[in-house]
Amino acid sequence: MRSATPRPHLYYGWWIVATTFCMAMMSMGARSGFGVFVLPMSAEFGWNRSTISLAAAIGALVSGLCQPFLGRLYDRLGGRQLILASLVVSGVCTMLLALTTHILFLIVLFGGVLSIAMGGSSLTTTSALLAKWFDRRRATAVSLNASGASVGGLLLVPFTVYLIHLVGWRLAWVVLGLLILLLVVPLVFVMLKDDPAELGLLPDGVPYPLGAGQTAPARPGPLEVEYWPQSFRSTPIWQLCGGYFVCGFTIALISTHFVPFAIERGVSPTTAATAYGLMSGLNVVGVLAVGALADRGGRKNLLGLVYALRGCAYAALLLAPGAWSLWSFVVIMGFSWWATLPLTSALTAEVYGLKHLGILNGLAFTGHQIGGALSIQLGGTLRDLTGSYDLPFAMASLLLFGGSLVSFAIREQRYSTRYQTAASATGA
């Protein structure tokens, strides 16, 4: 009689991934829907595109500037408490946007308080948390986390358009805030844990202490430092931050201005929101494929390729004829949208270690958000001055090709602990 072999339990790290996925889907999805509020709020208050873009631009800038401080809090206190507090404030502030009557109220609430709160529960924070739970499958885990934001865009942006048509833009903000408070906060409270050591595990589910045949954690890499400011004496952190600046410039530009741009091209609001949702849906495939490929090979070549593809998307938007320009952009951008996040986060962790990962991710994200704030305001201002988005979109395309070259130049094999470990094993 054959004895049954017990099945191994699912590593709890994958439950952490599922939790951060749902968190990104609801909170990031709600924020990414700001673009569909641009026209109804502008129509009610008589705001031009530059005025309402200012609130989004300040929000992107504030989110970036506060991220190093939030990253420092993460390094000191852990992620669970920071994320929970941030989600509660985010849900309340999202609901309070229904009370908007003046641009200053929108700037203070959306551009200030809500941006700081969402920074505490952002993909930057959760990527640092997941880096503690995974080593071999780190890029895959972070990719799944990032895909939650894409699914949020796929589902919540069209849903928000429907809500605005059904109950108006004010009640739409209330519903989005309630989704965060009633669904996401309880889930995070029950499921989220800071470190696999709380369950007696090492990353990837290895039991603690190490058993026979198991490998010890990787040695410190050549660029790991005792104090985080020393990281900026080396080249890779500047390359990663520079690329992330370009990433923020090109993502925030399209997040805020794509729906208005498409409507000005003669597309209906529903179709424009559907196209935005399709971009988000395609990005789920793109970001998961990138994560899987990165865990099997290198990170920096994929990062350079992603930036180049995104540059081609903007070029197609400007140069392709007729409707082909819009839909070719949607497809190419969709596959490359959030794909930079798992690659940048994994590279940062593997080059500079986990000790200061929260603040280093936060500083990289600061560059991302400075680029985003610049592009949001520049896009709105140039649209008002020239009557089209051609100039800011052309700038985005050129920056992306530059970011691609910078990423290809990162010396990953020299500095990443993945290659250091492999070299040690070969030498042994």
Please give the Cα distance from 87 to 71 (Å, whole number): 16
Contact 33, 94 (CB under 8 A): no
Rounded CA-CA distance 350/360 in Å is: 12
Using 50, 70 and 90 to split pLDDT, how confident is the model at 29? low
Alpha carbon of 253 to those of 18, 87, 204, 382: distances in Å? 29, 25, 37, 12
Q: Which of 368, 302, 298, 313 is nearest to 339 (CA)?
A: 302
Instruction: Kindly state the tokens that stand for 290.
Output: 């990138």
Are 375 and 183 contacting, i.e. CB atoms less than 8 angstroms apart?
no
Return mean pLDDT, the chain.
Answer: 82
Per-residue pLDDT of 70-117, as tens digits, reads 877 887 777 888 999 999 999 999 999 999 999 899 999 988 999 888
Residues 200-222 as b/e (b if ≥16 CB within 10 A, e otherwise) read ebbbebbeeeeeeeeeeebeebe
Neighbouring C-beta atoms of residue 56, cutoff 10 Å:
29
In this prediction, residue 3 has a pLDDT band, given cuts at 50, 70 and 90, of very low
- pLDDT tens by residue, 64-83: 788 778 877 887 777 888 99
Calculate mean pLDDT across residues 114-140: 84
Q: How far is 303 from 47, CA to CA, in rounded Å?
A: 38
Given a contact cutoff of 8 angstroms between Cβ atoms, the answer to whether 63 and 122 are in contact is yes
Residue 424 has pLDDT above 60, yes or no: no
| DSSP-assigned letter for residue 214 | P
The ranges assigned to domains in the chain are 12-206+223-420
Superfamily of domain 12-206+223-420 in the CATH hierarchy: MFS general substrate transporter like domains (1.20.1250.20)
